[in-house]
Amino acid sequence: MDVTPTARHATFRSLWTELEPVGRDLRSGGYARFAWTRAETELREWFTAAAQERGLEVETDRNGNLWAWWGSPGPDAVVTGSHLDSVPSGGAYDGPLGVVSAFLALDELRRRGVGGASGGASGGGRPPRPFAIACFVEEEGARFGIACLGSRLMTGALDADAARRLTDADGVTLAEAVAGGGLEAARLGRDEETLRRIGIFVELHVEQGRALVDLGAPVGVGTSIWPHGRYRFDFAGLADHAGTTRMEDRHDPMLTYAMTALAANKQARLAGAAGGGARATFGRVEVAPNGTNAIPSHVTAWLDARCSTEAGLAALVGAIEKQAAERADRDGTTLAVTAESVSPAVAFPPELAARIAGSHSGGDWPLLPTQAGHDAGILSAAGVPSAMLFVRNPTGVSHSPEEYAEDADCIAGAVALADTLERLLVGSGS
């Protein structure tokens, strides 16, 4: 495949244009690309077509993750990729940029003659070390609530029985959804065979903040991921009439929730001011019965909490829970808190990050920590040497239709990924 700068851009545009309409909500401009839905099936078909066009063999593993192999699968493979699903009303770049960049990087490797490739459109050649492009399923956890579901299942970080019982907003279980996608639900779970094949994983991602803008660099290398978790807060009270119930007679869980949302914001600010940084967000809430003229009986809200240290995260969630419980006492409501997923701190191997970042024609790429979770973090926690590349995002906005990266930076990212993969494929191991 011709990978001159103009051709590279044309290939990027063509892959991007194919993806653009899939799962798009024309009103908000955002994406609804949820695991095991029609939009996601279309994305899987797109992945398979892009891989086959390059002569790769595509496999779906037991947990629904996709693998496109150049040459024979594993062992000790260099793997790159990301995810194609989105948050509700998500941006175009979070996930897809890593997958599109993986295909562009493969084209670039072949152009450079890695693996003795012919340079033709369908590739050919053999990589000097096994090589795959991966696409992980349900990274955002937008449908079944657990982020990085595919990689957590693959590594055994999530119990398969618990996963099978997860339900979506319509009460469909994960077991039912994967069966609809052609997988055997009984085979979900830790996948030794696939894990044995992975030697090293590199994920390219749009940056979800403004560090690269401030540094004036198109590309950066990840050093670490903050510990973070999702916690379900179930507030219960007493449904009653909005007009006839005196204010002093109410047991309104909405009040307890409202105060808890304020407390979360305050506690995260206090924790952040004390050093290191902290975040707390209630971004999803369900109210029952959800009637304008009824005091609710239940409010369920999900706290997303993140902190620079694990102790800080535990203290932050504890402080929010304590304030919520005190308020529940005053409101005559009850509160139950369930940690649905908690991810420990991840430190990517520093020598690997330094090796990736070092000595490029434009100088070293900056090293950055991130507050966002990624499949690379799950793999790293499972002992797979992993690394991340970030591509500059001019606004820093993410998980929103406003998420953006300039084409030139996307191409720079894909070339940076190719540089990285070339070092790993032809260099001295991880």
List of residues contacting Mn ion (CB under 5 A): 94-95
**Distance from the Cα of residue 109 to its chain's centroid:** 26
Cβ proximity to ligand GLV: between 83 and 298 the closer is 83
Pairwise CA distance, residues 301 & 284, whole Å: 6
Is 147 among the residues that bind ligand GLV (CB under 6 A)?
Answer: yes
Q: Please say whether the beta carbons of 192 and 158 come within 8 A.
A: no
* Total site size for ligand GLV, rule CB under 6 A: 4
Task: Choose among ligand GLV, Mn ion, none what residue 373 binds, the Cβ cut-off being 5 to 8 Å by kind.
Answer: ligand GLV
Q: How far is the CB of 21 from ligand GLV (least distance, A)?
A: 22
Taking the complex as a whole, the smallest distance from the CB of residue 123 to Mn ion amounts, in Å, to 27
Q: Which residues touch 397 (CB under 8 Å, ≥6 apart)?
A: 91, 403, 404
**Residue with nearest beta carbon to Mn ion:** 94
β-bridge pairing 298-307 and 278-288:
antiparallel
Minimum CB separation of residue 388 from ligand GLV in Å reads 12
Q: Considering only residues 61, 140, 207, 403, which one is a binding residue for ligand GLV as defined by CB under 6 A? A: 140
Structure-block tokens of residue 428: 């001295």
Min dist. Cβ of residue 105 to ligand GLV (A): 22
| CA 52, chain centre distance (Å) | 25
Q: Which amino acid is at 34?
A: F
Q: Provide, rounded to whole angstroms, the least separation between the CB of residue 122 and ligand GLV.
A: 34
When CB distances are held under 5 to 8 angstroms depending on the partner's kind, the choice from ligand GLV, Mn ion, none that residue 147 binds is: ligand GLV
From residue 231, how far is each of 1, 302, 355 by CA, in Å? 47, 6, 37
Q: Which of residues 357-386 bind ligand GLV (CB under 6 A)?
A: 372-373
CB of 149 to Mn ion, least distance (A): 13
Contact pattern from residue 87 through residue 126 relative to ligand GLV, giving x for each residue in contact according to CB under 6 A and a dash for the rest:
----------------------------------------
Written as one letter, the residue type at 153 is L
Tell me which residue has tokens 């409101």. 331
d(CA 93, CA 12) in angstroms, rounded, equals 13
Cβ distance to Mn ion smaller for residue 88 or 344: 88
User: CB of residue 341 vs ligand GLV: minimum separation in angstroms?
Assistant: 10
**Cis peptide leading into residue 75 (ω within 30°):** yes
HSE, side-chain direction, 13 A CA sphere, residue 92? 21
* Cα separation, 28 vs 340, whole angstroms: 29
Q: Which does 410 bind (CB under 5 to 8 A by kind): ligand GLV, Mn ion, none?
A: none
Using the minimum distance from each CB to ligand GLV, give the nearer residue, 106 or 148: 148
Whether the Cβ atoms of residue 180 and residue 34 lie closer than 8 Å to each other: no
State whether residue 310 is helix, strand or coil: helix
Half-sphere exposure of 254 (CA within 13 A, CB side): 15
CB of 90 to ligand GLV, least distance (A): 9
95, interface contact from ligand GLV, Mn ion, none, CB < 5-8 Å by kind: Mn ion
Place of tokens 């055994």: 156
Distance CA 240, CA 140 (A): 36
- Output the DSSP codes for 207-272: -SSSHHHHHT-SEEEEEEE--EEEEEEEEE---EETTTS-GGG---HHHHHHHHHHHHHHHHHHHH
Which of Mn ion, ligand GLV, none is residue 254 near (CB under 5 to 8 Å by kind)? none
- Our CB check for ligand GLV shows the closer of 233 and 235 to be 233
Shortest gap between Cβ of 371 and ligand GLV (angstroms)?
7
Q: Which is nearer to ligand GLV, 11 or 82 (CB)?
A: 82
Q: Which is nearer to ligand GLV, 86 or 194 (CB)?
A: 86
Partner from ligand GLV, Mn ion, none binding residue 92, C-beta < 5-8 Å depending on class: none
Judged by beta carbon distances under 5 to 8 A according to partner kind, the member of Mn ion, ligand GLV, none in contact with residue 409 is none
Binding site for ligand GLV (CB under 6 A): 140, 147, 372-373
